[in-house]
Amino acid sequence: MSQSVSSIVITGASAGIGEETAILFAERGWHVVLGARRKDKLQALATKLSQKGASQVTVLVLDVTDDKSVEQFAASAWEAAGGKIDVLFNNAGLALGVDHVSKGLVSDWESMLDTNVTGLLRVTRALLPKMIDSAHGHVINMGSIASHVVYEGGSVYCATKHAVRAITKTMRLELNGTPIRVSLIDPGMVETDFSLVRFKEDQERAKSVYKGVTPLTGRDIAECVWFAAARPKHVNIEEIVVMPVDQAAPHKINRK
């Protein structure tokens, strides 16, 4: 692979925002490194990315909650990218349930914390030292408006996204003096399988979230990732907060 080809590593790449980001970067001729648990979905996506114009596609199984999986993923991703990762997009994450704290399930809390917070940290720790040594790269973390505004039934999910925002801001300070850029993307309502996962495959309940609203799409968020990544090297996009016009806050939505 030519060293002139840019590379992006995407976690949670098998669906939603991760998938749409992979497609957009493929269209621009990048080498796309896909990481997720569902290898069959990644392989299907890889075929699409090749058709879309990706210079190269690498499929790697990744469970961000498993130390060994992350270590293997990081080593393979770095090798596949030829020792030069332009963008690490920490996208893997989920919400589970809308129970109040008094009724919440510990298993849901643990899953959200381990995926959204510790998982992001695992992947970053595994790749960031290599990026620092190579004096090259950009870490883009997937946040949420839940990192700015809390809401009933979202205590732990909101806590995880507040943590992601804090981690991102801290990384920006820690990496000052290096050429590594750090950005955060904070979307509002995006229509993906997010609500389906949150409501544990209850399709009717998931659909009701977007009823009467024109939400953001995965492509909308992918465009934000691209904007941050495509700036000149001396420009660091600190944070992008993006909402659908119909949504002014998590709890303030105009339904037609």
How far is the C-alpha of 150 from the C-alpha of 159, rounded, in Å? 8
N- to C-terminal Cα distance for the chain?
Answer: 50
Nearest CA-CA partner of 184 in 112, 89, 248, 250: 89
Look at the chain and count its residues. Answer: 256
Nearest CA-CA partner of 159 in 96, 66, 242: 96
Residue spans of alpha helices (H) in the chain: 16-27, 39-52, 67-80, 106-112, 120-134, 155-174, 194-198, 203-208, 218-229
200 conformational bin, left if phi > 0, alpha if psi -120 to 50, beta if neither: left
**E runs forming strands in the chain:** 7-11, 31-36, 56-61, 87-90, 138-142, 181-187, 239-242, 247-249, 252-253
Q: Does 151 participate in catalysis according to the annotation?
A: no
Q: What angle is formed at CA 75 by the lines to CA 224 and CA 14, rounded to 5 degrees?
A: 45
Query: Are 42 and 36 contacting, i.e. CB atoms less than 8 angstroms apart?
Result: yes
**Which of 30, 109, 157, 226 is the catalytic position?**
157
How far is the C-alpha of 190 from the C-alpha of 213, rounded, in Å? 11
For CA atoms 127, 128, 129, 133, give the dihedral sign.
Answer: positive
Structure tokens at 90: 């920490």
Q: Mind telling me the catalytic residues?
A: 157
